[in-house]
Amino acid sequence: MAAFLDSVPISGIIRIRDMMYTVDKPFRLDQGDVVFDAPDTVKDAIIKAVHENRTHYLPTTGVPHLLALMADKLKSKNKVPVGGPEEVMVTTGGIHGQFLACQALLEPGDEVLVPDPCWPPTASIIQTSQAVPVHYALYEDRQWRPDVAEIASKITPKTKAIVVTTPHNPTGGVLTRKDIEDIAALAIEKNIWVLADEAYEDFVWEGTHVSIASLPGMYERTIPMHTLSKSYAITGVRVGYIAVKDKTIRSRAQKLLLYTATNVSSIAQYAAIGALEGSQQCLETFRTGLLERRAMFFKGIRDKSNGVLTGEASAGAFYAFLKIKPGWKSPLGANPSLSWAMTEYLIKEGRVGCIPGADFGPRGEGYVRLCYARGTEELKGALEQIGKLLS
């Protein structure tokens, strides 16, 4: 197993992070993080937990009250028919939840259908389970949504699961209810599992978020994977959660949780209680701020990039996944990847952080991802730099 891990790639996001630390006064549009501060409900809960000495071991799956809050949220907000808190477990962020789900579900050689483009750790986590990621395409002219008939054509006897991500990172695509219903029907027909990544559920600008596990007959074959990181501006606190109805899969995931974390940080869990139990006004405040930034940033790209970068405003999440004009040549010299050429140029010459589309999969080549969940002055500065470099 140790040698096998040598074949699992590390995301290019790490390379970008290292590059950005060499840049003076950077514009950090590379990070998938909101600029907002955590709400007072979270801060107060952290302070209270420290003063009450909540610094000791906890039940492995989570603080009972937190598990109850998460189960209630899944039932009331996501409409997922969770049987009770015993079906939920707290994880160290969303990435840990994905790891537990894949390790508990997949066998060596299993195939998992993964969107292309896709958040890089998704495919790598599947590979750490010694399973095989198989790409299905997302299409820009379909608002970064798939062709479900094409997905069906990729199913083989080895197919164990499909990853469904909505809203989507990096493209910002949002699946329609019909998309979700068609994928659910396919999963039932072909007897495959669904790994539902819903990290950006609170940031839908066009359409409505639909949790696939809410549809009839789907929760028993779906592992909903959630995180509080984006919704409550606590990416560094590291709290996520998954729900598993199947007792065998759930038992495996609980063992993995025990042997990878013992329990998620006690202070982080009490912070999550504050987030879920307190006022939800911060969600609306964040959404309002992000919508303003979305409008400003995409207008800025249209006005300043001289047609070199193009793309429609994302339907969800908080990213601009922009197409690079074919034939554009970097002043820094030849590069076999147009995505990496643009990324290195914007970082080295403009101090503008971004992620090459190629890092998100083969269909991401020729694109670049920028995050607009930053401060307005930072976004304006980045746009000014982009204008200077691409004019």
Q: Same domain, yes or no, for 267 and 304?
A: no
Q: Same domain, yes or no, for 295 and 208?
A: no
Q: What is d(CA 372, CA 125) in angstroms, rounded to the nearest whole number? A: 27
Question: Nearest Cα to 232, choosing from 76, 23, 38, 98?
Answer: 38
Q: What is d(CA 14, CA 10) in angstroms, rounded to the nearest whole number? A: 7
Query: With a cut of 50, which residues of the chain have pLDDT below it?
Result: none
Is 35 a domain residue? no
User: Which domain, by its residues, includes 386?
Assistant: 4-30+282-390
Is 59 a domain residue? yes
Q: What is d(CA 257, CA 148) in angstroms, rounded to the nearest whole number? A: 34
- Sequence length of the chain is 391
Residue at which a domain ends, from 246, 277, 308: 277
Q: What is d(CA 1, CA 3) in angstroms, rounded to the nearest whole number? A: 6
Q: Same domain, yes or no, for 215 and 336?
A: no
Question: Nearest Cα to 107, choosing from 125, 135, 124, 132?
Answer: 132
- Quote the pLDDT of residue 4: 85
CB atoms < 10 A from the CB of 349, how many?
14
Q: Phi, psi at residue 149, to the nearest 5°?
A: -60, -35
Q: What is d(CA 98, CA 52) in angstroms, rounded to the nearest whole number? A: 32
pTM of the model: 0.96
- Quote the pLDDT of residue 10: 85
Angle between helices 120-128 and 93-105 (to 10 degrees): 40
383-388: list long-range contacts, CB under 8 Å, 24+ apart.
383/297, 383/300, 383/301, 383/304, 384/304, 385/27, 385/346, 385/350, 385/351, 385/352, 386/300, 386/301, 386/304, 386/305, 386/309, 386/346, 386/350, 386/352, 387/303, 387/304, 387/305, 387/306, 388/350
pLDDT, tens digit, for every residue of 178-197?
Answer: 999 999 999 999 999 999 99
CATH number at residue 254: 3.40.640.10
- Quote the pLDDT of residue 1: 67
- Quote the pLDDT of residue 123: 97
Distance set, CA 244 to CA 71, 108, 111, 130, 191 (Å) = 11, 21, 20, 21, 17
Unique residue bearing structure tokens 């164990």: 160
CATH number at residue 352: 3.90.1150.10
pLDDT, tens digit, for every residue of 279-301?
Answer: 999 999 999 999 999 999 999 99
Q: Same domain, yes or no, for 152 and 293?
A: no
- Quote the pLDDT of residue 18: 86
Question: Nearest Cα to 24, choosing from 377, 345, 348?
Answer: 348
CB 309 within 8 A of CB 390: yes
- Quote the pLDDT of residue 376: 97
